Amino acid sequence: MWNPIAYALGFIDCDHISARCMLTIFQFFAAKTEASILRMLEGSPQEYLHQPIVNYLTDRGTKIHTRRQVREIKFTESDSQSEVTGILVAQGEQEELITADAYVFACDVPGIQRVLPPSWRKWSEFDNIYKLEAVPVATVQLRFDGWVTELQDEAQRRQLTHAAGLDNLLYTADADFSCFADLALTSPADYYRPGQGSILQLVLTPGDPFIKESNEKIAQHVLRQVQELFPSARDLNMTWYSVVKLAQSLYREAPGMDPFRPAQTTPIPNFFLAGSYTQQDYIDSMEGATLSGRQAAKAILQFLNT
């Protein structure tokens, strides 16, 4: 029972996950009655999660530039105080120097490790970031010509006029994926297609053994495990698949690593960090990332008001 929970929380098993992560989540479940309900978005994250946030921000004058990479942090260094003076942002071949009153870097673990100036490692707050690791993960989607999680009724399983089966996030200890759902049922707005069946999304954890495998091999391997879990669906056909591999995804919430996570304020007064890997009171998740952003915003306001 515990491994699927640990895998779903941090993509690592019980023996390798920090007790902090498990305690955080169970304290939360115990204290908040609504926290034990699993919910999925109505459709794709782009439309149902990101777009409302983008709309909120652009309505208030924010400009969002995607496909830009911060290549270099420009800074002055003196014995008393260092200060960031600008960031070199690249879009393809073009580079632009951006200056601001305060700079917040909301990167993932590999991103922040790449972009920090090496000389900043003289501060333990920055040097400790290089002790953090990220977990590999692979996400697989399989489309079928029927309803995989419809266990009771064969006619329902084979019809393609409406969705049928288990409408929730599912967990298993008996496959290489710990956590999965039929998106055609849980998030129908974008994933239910008339005339087609289940679209299972399954997260392979630990992802290490799969990163070097071909997508075709991974899809067939996962299909076999799906058929083991749902014998009633063995004669359904997989009609399409997609595999997305991330060699470095979440921050690895391993025992003893918490002290190395940076705060949002740093030794450089106008340079701030955010992101779910930074110090915050929740697990590495979208909610954790949001909390870190709120903490960073608070710290920036404090800096600008002093």
Ligand X SMILES: Cc1cc2nc3c(=O)[nH]c(=O)nc-3n(C[C@H](O)[C@H](O)[C@H](O)COP(=O)(O)OP(=O)(O)OC[C@H]3O[C@@H](n4cnc5c(N)ncnc54)[C@H](O)[C@@H]3O)c2cc1C
Q: Does 284 bind ligand X (CB under 6 A)?
A: yes
Which listed range, 105-113, 118-126, 256-264, 294-302, lies at the site for ligand X (CB under 6 A)?
Answer: 105-113
**Among 10, 21, 108, 185, contact with ligand X (rule: CB under 6 A):** 108
CB of 169 to ligand X, least distance (A): 8
Q: Does 247 bind ligand X (CB under 6 A)?
A: no
Binders in 214-233 for ligand X, by CB under 6 A: none
Q: Does 70 bind ligand X (CB under 6 A)?
A: yes
**Among 41, 102, 285, 303, contact with ligand X (rule: CB under 6 A):** 285
Q: Does 249 bind ligand X (CB under 6 A)?
A: yes
User: Closer to ligand X at the Cβ: 146 or 262?
Assistant: 262
Give me the half-sphere count of Cα atoms (radius 13 Å) on the Cβ side of residue 63. Answer: 2
Binders in 122-181 for ligand X, by CB under 6 A: 137, 139
User: Closer to ligand X at the Cβ: 233 or 266?
Assistant: 266
Q: Does 264 bind ligand X (CB under 6 A)?
A: no
The percent of the chain in helix, strand and coil, each rounded to the nearest 5, is 40, 20, 40
CB of 210 to ligand X, least distance (A): 12
Q: Does 207 bind ligand X (CB under 6 A)?
A: no
Cβ-in-10-Å burial (0-12, 13-18, 19+) of 21 comes to: buried
Distance CA 145, CA 239 (A): 7
**Among 203, 233, 243, 273, contact with ligand X (rule: CB under 6 A):** 203
Task: Output DSSP code: residue 75.
Answer: E
Q: Describe the strand order of the beta sheet including 170-171 as a list of residue ranges.
A: 170-171, 177-182, 199-204, 137-144, 238-246
Binding-site string for ligand X from residue 1 to residue 40, where x marks contact by CB under 6 A and - marks none: ----------------------------------------
Does residue 205 contact residue 11 with C-beta atoms inside 8 Å? yes
Exposure class string for 105-142: b at 16+ Cβ within 10 A, else e: bbbbbebbbeebeeebeeeebbeebeebebbbbbbbbb
Interface with ligand X (CB under 6 A), residue total 21
Distance CA 113, CA 129 (A): 7
> 84: Cβ–Cβ under 8 A, 6 or more apart, which residues?
73, 74, 75, 103, 268, 270, 271
Residues that bind ligand X in the complex, under the rule CB under 6 A: 69-70, 106-108, 111, 115, 137, 139, 203, 246, 249-250, 275-276, 284-289
